[in-house]
Amino acid sequence: MLKRFSILGLVVILALSMVVGCTSKKGSGVTVGMITDTGGLGDQSFNDSANKGLKEAEKDYGIKLTVIESATQDDYIPNLTTFAQKEQDLIFAIGCLLDPAMEQASKQFPNQKYAIIDGHVPEGATNVAAARFAENEGSFLVGVIAGLKTESNKIGFIGGLKIPSIQKFEYGFRAGVKAVNPKAEVFVDYANSFTDTAIGKELGLALNQRGADIVYHAAGGVGTGMIQAAEEKGFWAIGVDQDQSYLAPKNVLCSMLKEVGLATKTITKAVVDDKFEGRDYIFNLKNEGVGYSDKAGNLTDDLKEAAEKYKKAILDGSIKVVPQTEEEFNSIEIPNLLK
């Protein structure tokens, strides 16, 4: 009898050990630092999306996350240096504006693993991963939706800074509008900020006064001001980066998804799995790195069907290039697939 209990006890102990082993968090102890751009946490867009992905990694992989918010661009290099001196396993820089600082830091600390969102791998660097997105593809789809939805044939676009990564949103969007509604006019404004909510509201109101009944933004915190204007004046807003319908459920027509969280989580997993590489990670429609959403249910079936038709054409190669620059926008004709 004693022998039977001893064997039974051993079986129980082994079983419990297996359960503990199965439920322990993969990668426990991996340290990750995230440095925001000047938009900081709470922008309800870009930085928050990056942080969301790392919070998921914290839960799923057991990493230890620390975030430093940058008050000004002068903070970028000191913040990168602070994390490197603490020997974080991976340091994220959120935004293309950190590109110059990343290049300097990656050379100063060649054994430190870095990742940058919307930036580039510095020439010759093997310690930097860069997440880049086909924002033009996702923006094209919401442009199709806006072009079909508008009643005034006047549509607005607000960008944060007039830089290539934001112009990809602009020209992709304009191309989508043009493909289904060449008569529509798209007014374009740049806020020269990603944080000034008041300017966003002012620009939104001004575009609406010019007749725009739909306004799309790629401007971080500035866009929340535009959405406030949409709610006050009753025009449609199109959100960005994450589903922003919760900001004004009756006025956010849809949102262009830029899955920054997918990028931060994917690159973190590479470190957890000891498979980190200094290379570009491309996120597009094919791998669901961009897209669109409508959690508020404001899109009709016809609008969704049209967007899906163009999405399929991009994925199967029927549409070979979605414009992302002024030159491409002016030279590439995308057929109207809805005729």
Neighbours of 91 (CB within 10 A): 30
Q: Which two tokens stand for residue 293?
A: 């959403």
Instruction: Tell me which fold the domain 135-257+300-331 belongs to.
Output: Rossmann fold (3.40.50)
Identify the bridge partners of residue 132 per DSSP, sorted by sequence position: 282
Residue with tokens 């931060």, as numbered in its chain: 264
Q: So where are the chain's domains?
A: 31-133+261-283, 135-257+300-331
Helix then strand then coil, % of the chain, to nearest 5: 45, 20, 35
Instruction: Tell me which fold the domain 31-133+261-283 belongs to.
Output: Rossmann fold (3.40.50)
What's the rounded Cα separation, in Å, for the pair 228 and 200? 9
The pLDDT assigned to 39 comes to: 86
Identify the bridge partners of residue 189 per DSSP, sorted by sequence position: 158
Q: Which two tokens stand for residue 152?
A: 């005034």
The pLDDT assigned to 26 comes to: 61
Cβ-based neighbours of 116, under 8 Å, separated by 6 or more: 92, 93, 94, 96, 98, 99, 102, 128, 129, 130, 131
Supply the pTM of this predicted model: 0.88
Report residue 157: phi and psi, to 5°.
-135, 130
The pLDDT assigned to 27 comes to: 55
Compute mean pLDDT per 10 residues along the chain, 339 residues long, and list them: 43 41 56 93 88 96 96 94 94 94 95 96 94 97 98 98 96 98 98 96 98 97 97 98 96 97 97 95 97 97 98 97 97 93
Report residue 39: phi and psi, to 5°.
-70, -30
Count of residues making up the chain: 339
Q: H or E element: which one contains 232? A: helix 222-233
Contact 334, 319 (CB under 8 A): yes
9: burial class by Cβ within 10 Å (0-12, 13-18, 19+)? exposed
